[in-house]
Amino acid sequence: MDIPKALTIAGLDSGAGAGVTADLKTFHALGVYGMVALTSVTAQNTVEVRSISDVPSNVVEDEVNVVAEDIGVDAAKTGMLSNAEIIVTVSRVVKKWGFPLVVDPVMVAKSGARLLREDAVDALRRYLLPVALVVTPNIPEAEVLTGISITNISDMRKAAQLISKDLGTPIVIVKGGHLEGLESIDVVYDSRNNEFHELKSPRVNTKNTHGTGCSFSAAIAAGLAKGLDELSAITNAKRFITDAIIYSLNLGHGHGPVNSLASLYIESAKYDSVMDSIKAAKKLISAGFKRGFAVSLLSLDYFKKGNEGIYVEFNNEISEPIFGVPPVLGSLAAQAIGKGLRGIIAVEHEGSGVPSNVHLVEIQDKKYALVMGSTATDAVDSFLMALTK
């Protein structure tokens, strides 16, 4: 089996919210084989960085060389490169191998601790950015790299152009997470065609954003490793990190980590719901019911918009699973959510009498018997049991 390969050249966060651990989770979630060249070890949690120990630059160089020589590198990213010697070494070895590089110019940890020494900023400008394909500064980092104040989208555009023109990176993404507003807007500038793009997502009200920059840049590198064009890789990474923030993890007493595995959990929840709705419909058909719905709402942990679910209709035969909730059952889905339930079944019913746990509802001028349960299959079992009493 052939698989795309991506390398992270970054530091270790012992709390596993950022750094190489976050990068590897992102690579693997996106179907890319992840490799590591460790640059520093940090004793870190969601509240503080207690101590830092840098890996010798010759060891960092060996780490990159051994994986490039043997396994190969389709794309790479850098994170924490704390001193000038490591930056110069990484720049040289990246230039030697020629793989596309995404630079996350990590300067300060979420807790406020400085991760890039003051005297290393010049090395970052002079050596690393000229060999990078993409650089992803947030607003404070872009201000350090350009020397200008950034307070709006126009300033972000100006900063992106300055970084590309003066420091030599073809594609610059100035991230807008530090600005105010209902949307989080990132400005992408591609100097090769002098084009700007704005990537927008709803701003998520959470303190749990540790590892955002690491995971975003790793997702871009993963896309490049898979052969995507740059803008597609960046756009996909924006969607990826938005989900990771929406489903972030409330761990520790400070800034909890984003959930780089959210996309896998969501797909797993969708699969479980598909199988649940189909199993429920098959049971109803086997019991002699000819027409109805089986709805399986996604796991409540991944129920952020209020109506995500999978359902099937059956009229002797089962339809293809449909993502969402039948419009006629929308209010009932909200009731189920309120009760902590995930399953709804509705079957066409003739007559007026129903067991006590079954509700009669009118759907499209027809009466349906409706039952809620912990799953759609559970709702069917409750319904059939009630009918035998």
Which residue out of 79, 211, 256, 343 is catalytically annotated? 211
Phi, psi of 312 (to 5 degrees): -125, 145
Catalytic annotation on 21?
A: no
The answer to whether residues 217 and 274 belong to one domain is: no
Instruction: Give pLDDT tens digits for 61-80.
Output: 999 999 999 999 999 999 99
Which residues does 377 contact at the CB level (< 8 Å), separation at least 6?
Answer: 276, 279, 280, 283, 343
The answer to whether residues 251 and 344 belong to one domain is: no
Residue 259 and residue 208: Cα distance in Å, rounded? 9
Please choose, from the candidates 308, 296, 302, 216, the residue with its C-alpha nearest in 3D space to the C-alpha of residue 29.
216
- CATH number, domain with residue 123: 3.40.1190.20
Identify the domain boundary among 232, 260, 288: 260
Biggest CA–CA distance in the chain, Å, is: 82
* pLDDT classification of 102: cutoffs 50, 70, 90: very high
Catalytic annotation on 181?
A: no
Which residue out of 42, 209, 242, 377 is catalytically annotated? 209
Identify the domain boundary among 215, 231, 260: 260
Phi, psi of 178 (to 5 degrees): -85, -10
Phi, psi of 181 (to 5 degrees): 125, 165
**pLDDT for the residue numbered 118:** 78
Residue 331 and residue 346: Cα distance in Å, rounded? 14
Residue 50 and residue 43: Cα distance in Å, rounded? 5
Catalytic annotation on 146?
A: no
Instruction: Give pLDDT tens digits for 32-49.
Output: 999 999 999 999 999 999
Which residue out of 42, 214, 238, 343 is catalytically annotated? 214
Instruction: Give the structural domain span for 321.
Output: 265-388
Identify the domain boundary among 260, 295, 324: 260
**pLDDT for the residue numbered 109:** 64
The answer to whether residues 253 and 275 belong to one domain is: no
Residue 331 and residue 307: Cα distance in Å, rounded? 9
* pLDDT classification of 307: cutoffs 50, 70, 90: low
CB-based contact 113:43 (threshold 8 Å): no
26-235-184 Cα angle (round to 5): 90
Which residue out of 17, 34, 177, 213 is catalytically annotated? 213
Interval 287-305 mean pLDDT: 76
pLDDT higher than 50, residue 26: yes
Catalytic annotation on 223?
A: no
Which residue out of 26, 212, 242, 377 is catalytically annotated? 212
Which residues does 254 contact at the CB level (< 8 Å), separation at least 6?
Answer: 45, 46, 47, 48, 110, 111, 207, 210
CB-based contact 19:214 (threshold 8 Å): yes
The answer to whether residues 285 and 253 belong to one domain is: no
The answer to whether residues 225 and 294 belong to one domain is: no
Which residue out of 25, 158, 175, 226 is catalytically annotated? 175
Instruction: Give pLDDT tens digits for 365-378.
Output: 788 888 999 999 99
Residue 16 and residue 215: Cα distance in Å, rounded? 12
CB-based contact 132:102 (threshold 8 Å): yes
**pLDDT for the residue numbered 306:** 47
Task: Please return the burial class of 229, using the count of CB atoms within 10 Å of its CB with bins 0-12, 13-18 and 19+.
Answer: exposed
Instruction: Give pLDDT tens digits for 107-149.
Output: 876 656 667 787 789 999 999 999 999 999 999 999 999 999 9
Mean pLDDT is lowest, of 93-97, 266-270, 287-291, 334-338, for: 334-338
How far is the first Cα of the chain from the last one, in angstroms, to the nearest whole number?
55
The answer to whether residues 29 and 16 belong to one domain is: yes
The answer to whether residues 237 and 138 belong to one domain is: yes
DSSP assignment string, 218-245 = HHHHHHHHTT--HHHHHHHHHHHHHHHH
pLDDT top residue among 124 and 269? 124
The answer to whether residues 213 and 92 belong to one domain is: yes
The answer to whether residues 158 and 301 belong to one domain is: no
Catalytic annotation on 175?
A: yes
Q: What is residue 194's DSSP assignment?
A: T
The answer to whether residues 120 and 176 belong to one domain is: yes
Q: What total of structural domains would you count in the chain? A: 2
Strand blocks (E) in 298-385: 309-315, 317-318, 322-323, 343-348, 359-363, 366-373
Catalytic annotation on 366?
A: no
Residue 322 and residue 312: Cα distance in Å, rounded? 6
**Residue type at 101 in one-letter notation:** L
* pLDDT classification of 86: cutoffs 50, 70, 90: very high
The answer to whether residues 245 and 293 belong to one domain is: no
The answer to whether residues 150 and 184 belong to one domain is: yes
**pLDDT for the residue numbered 29:** 96
Instruction: Give pLDDT tens digits for 343-367.
Output: 999 898 776 666 666 777 777 778 8
